[in-house]
């Protein structure tokens, strides 16, 4: 249900009211690591929730963009941070559960991080540079088949969800497209698509929504089971005859594993209240995402463990290796 401002203010006061030592949290700014460069889906969503979360916690939320290594740099920084609640990380499916399935990393989503809450679900979208003479997925397939190995697709690296989706699609349709990995997440890859460095990509909708609405990219399909309300004229892959390619992405907040449970709960309550704010919900939809808070931190922690197992199976099937 959509919340109201008075309720949010009341919760903000309750969150700030000290009783026990741990309830005095926070007494200084909280760092929110975004493991990508500005402009990608995670950065967009982080900046949407930041102002309201500031108000509810009564302290500044400082966004710390840590791009590089397909998000691994930012995620490792969060995993190694002091478990005091003053460092949290806005991870997504790629950074949190796909990266560790592609390669052995010095951190683990289940060993070194604990869930705070799911934040948002984001449809993925198939987009092409407008110079490409295709307007449907079938036309795209025919165009690629006539030019094996001549077209490029963009990704945020070997472990990114958009690469896995494209590789799975290529395998299913027997296509040859060259992967061009971009550092810094989906934002730089979308810029490369707009510039014509690459011709096609699967990407999270928030990263491409502006260029699509501005005519700088052409949207061929969304990957969710239903059309996205913000782009009602863009059909789904399901509608176009591709039922095996229904998927979506997600963004979630995590903290270092030993962060005290009362602090994790306070962060959860503040973020959930933020996501119930009607202005925040409206801005998320406008950006291409839907608020999706978890009922409690344990539910999101369990969700991450299930997603890790699921995507590890996909990675093994495709045979993706690190760039």
pLDDT digits (tens, 9 = 90+) for 108-167: 999 999 999 999 988 899 999 999 999 999 999 999 999 999 999 998 776 678 888 999
Tokens 């799911």 found at: 118
With respect to residue 323, please indicate whether it lies within any of the assigned structural domains. no
Integer-rounded Cα Rg, in Å, for the chain is 20
- With H, G, I as helix, E, B as strand and everything else as coil, classify residue 13: helix
Q: Verify that 195 and 254 share a domain, yes or no.
A: no
Q: Verify that 104 and 128 share a domain, yes or no.
A: no
257 vs 164, higher pLDDT: 257
pTM of the model: 0.78
> Which of 245, 276, 296 represents a domain boundary (last residue)?
245
> Which of 230, 245, 260 represents a domain boundary (last residue)?
245
Give me the domain span that covers residue 138.
Answer: 123-245
Looking at the structure of the chain, the number of domains it has is: 2
Q: Verify that 10 and 72 share a domain, yes or no.
A: yes
| CATH code where residue 141 lies | 3.40.190.10
With respect to residue 240, please indicate whether it lies within any of the assigned structural domains. yes
Distances 263 to 80, 85, 256, 302 between C-alpha atoms, Å:
17, 6, 11, 19
Q: Verify that 76 and 107 share a domain, yes or no.
A: yes
Q: Which of 105, 52, 42 is nearest to 276 (CA)?
A: 52
Query: How many whole angstroms separate alpha carbon 173 and alpha carbon 179?
Result: 16
Averaged pLDDT score across all residues of the chain: 90
Q: Verify that 111 and 91 share a domain, yes or no.
A: yes
30 vs 320, higher pLDDT: 30
Q: Where are the beta strands (DSSP E) in 169-224?
A: 178-181, 200-204, 218-222
Name, in order, each residue with C-beta under 8 angstroms of 279's C-beta and a sequence gap of 6 or more: 52
> Which of 201, 218, 245 represents a domain boundary (last residue)?
245
């Amino acid at each position: 249900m959509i919340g109201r401002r008075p309720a949010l203010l009341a919760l903000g006061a309750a969150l700030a009211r000290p009783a026990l030592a741990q309830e005095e949290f926070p007494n200084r700014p909280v760092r929110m690591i975004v493991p990508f460069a500005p402009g990608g889906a995670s950065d967009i969503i982080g900046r949407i929730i930041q102002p309201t979360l500031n108000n509810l916690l009564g302290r500044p939320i400082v966004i710390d963009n840590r791009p590089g290594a397909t998000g691994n740099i930012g995620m490792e920084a969060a995993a190694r941070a002091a478990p005091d609640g003053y460092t949290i990380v806005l991870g997504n499916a790629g950074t949190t559960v796909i990266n560790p399935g592609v390669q052995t990393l010095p951190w683990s989503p289940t060993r070194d991080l604990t869930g705070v809450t799911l934040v948002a679900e984001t449809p993925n979208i198939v987009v092409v540079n407008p110079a490409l003479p295709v307007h449907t997925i079938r036309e795209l397939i025919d165009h690629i088949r006539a030019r094996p190995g001549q077209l490029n697709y963009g990704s945020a690296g070997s472990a990114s969800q958009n690469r896995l989706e494209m590789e799975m699609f290529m395998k299913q349709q027997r296509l040859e497209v060259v992967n061009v990995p971009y550092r810094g997440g989906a934002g730089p890859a979308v810029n490369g698509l707009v510039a014509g460095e690459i011709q096609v990509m699967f990407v999270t909708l928030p990263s491409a929504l502006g260029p699509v609405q501005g005519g700088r990219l052409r949207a061929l399909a969304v990957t969710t089971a239903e059309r996205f309300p913000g782009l009602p004229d863009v059909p789904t892959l399901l509608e176009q005859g591709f039922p095996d390619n229904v998927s979506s992405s997600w963004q979630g907040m995590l903290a270092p594993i030993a962060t005290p449970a009362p602090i994790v709960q306070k962060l959860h309550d503040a973020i959930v209240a933020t996501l119930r704010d009607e202005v925040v919900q409206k801005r998320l939809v406008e950006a291409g995402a839907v608020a999706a808070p978890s009922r409690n931190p344990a539910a999101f922690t369990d969700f991450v463990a299930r997603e890790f197992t699921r995507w590890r199976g996909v990675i093994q099937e495709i045979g993706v290796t690190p760039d």
